[in-house]
């Protein structure tokens, strides 16, 4: 049984680490969560002008997917009644639904996009697309696997893959299933106008 309370708004919570503490992400996240719980849970040390129960729902993003279990368990340890709902993205053993396995984010966005195309009378196979997020990631790989458009460019952490005639769909699907960066795209499957620029390339000429 899933939680019935679905927040209709939200915002990003960012933790900015100094250059000499880039390896302290998990510790910083734990302190961040503790600080949030300090504000959410009743305490004689806090002055509460709101006088109402407040609940936050935390969702994983860059660098925090692996600590959602910890945050939920820690909220329980701190006595939060809402600990099960405190984080999404937990493992199935903790009552979570793996977003990447079911492509939940990708599918919800695609419902919106396909609805727009239907309203405008457009055929997806005739649409060109530039995709940010490559075949190595959750969202990028799921988008490649379920889309039918003409993808002309993919930008990921490794570089930029481009072909004005459309990137070879079979090759994109192969990379998506293997969760590999665009740099592993078989260059023989690019048209004469296609190219790839890696983030490590420098001083390139035509």
Sheet strands side by side (includes 195-198): 128-132, 150-156, 159-162, 195-198
| Residue of 128, 178, 136 lying closest to 155 (CA atoms) | 136
Contacts 24+ apart (CB under 8 A), 122-128: 124/148, 124/149, 125/149, 125/150, 126/150, 128/152, 128/166
Q: Would the pLDDT of 4 be above 70?
A: no
Phi, psi (deg, nearest 5) at residue 130: -110, 120
Mean pLDDT, to the nearest integer, of 5-21?
77
Which pLDDT belongs to residue 71?
93
Q: Would the pLDDT of 154 be above 80?
A: yes
| Residue of 111, 104, 184 lying closest to 139 (CA atoms) | 104
Which pLDDT belongs to residue 130?
96
Residue 153 vs residue 87, higher pLDDT: 153
| Residue of 182, 183, 189 lying closest to 165 (CA atoms) | 189
Cα separation, 90 vs 84, in Å, equals 9
pTM: 0.63
Q: Would the pLDDT of 5 be above 60?
A: no
Mean pLDDT, to the nearest integer, of 71-92?
89
Q: What is the token pair recorded at 108?
A: 């919800």
Residue 83 vs residue 2, higher pLDDT: 83
Residue 66 vs residue 5, higher pLDDT: 66
Band (7; pLDDT cuts 50, 70, 90): low
Band (37; pLDDT cuts 50, 70, 90): very high
Tell me which of 8-17, 67-76, 145-154, 164-173 is least confident: 8-17
Which pLDDT belongs to residue 192?
96
Instruction: Report the mean per-residue pLDDT for the chain.
Output: 87
Catalytic residue, chosen from 4, 12, 51, 119, is 12
Q: By the 8 A CB rule, do 25 and 62 touch?
A: no
Q: Would the pLDDT of 164 be above 70?
A: yes
Residue 15 vs residue 60, higher pLDDT: 15
Tell me which of 2-6, 108-112, 161-165, 178-182 is least confident: 2-6
12 is catalytic: yes
């Amino acid at each position: 049984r899933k939680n019935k309370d679905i927040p209709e708004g939200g915002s990003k919570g960012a933790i900015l680490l100094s250059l000499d503490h880039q390896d302290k992400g998990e510790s910083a996240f734990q302190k961040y969560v503790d600080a949030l719980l300090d504000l959410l849970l009743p305490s004689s040390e806090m002055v509460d002008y709101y006088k109402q129960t407040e609940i936050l729902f935390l969702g994983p993003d860059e660098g925090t997917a692996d600590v959602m279990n910890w945050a939920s368990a820690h909220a329980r340890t701190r006595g939060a009644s809402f600990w099960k709902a405190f984080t999404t993205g937990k493992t199935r053993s903790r009552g979570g639904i793996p977003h990447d396995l079911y492509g939940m984010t990708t599918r919800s966005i695609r419902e919106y996009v396909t609805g727009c195309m239907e309203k405008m009378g457009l055929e997806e196979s005739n649409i060109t697309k530039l995709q940010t997020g490559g075949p190595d990631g959750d969202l990028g790989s799921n988008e490649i696997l379920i889309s039918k458009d003409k993808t002309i460019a993919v930008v990921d952490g490794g570089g930029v893959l481009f072909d004005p005639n459309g990137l070879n769909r079979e090759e994109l699907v192969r990379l998506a299933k293997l969760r590999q960066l665009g740099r592993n795209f078989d260059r023989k499957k690019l048209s004469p106008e296609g190219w790839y620029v890696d983030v490590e390339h420098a001083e390139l000429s035509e």
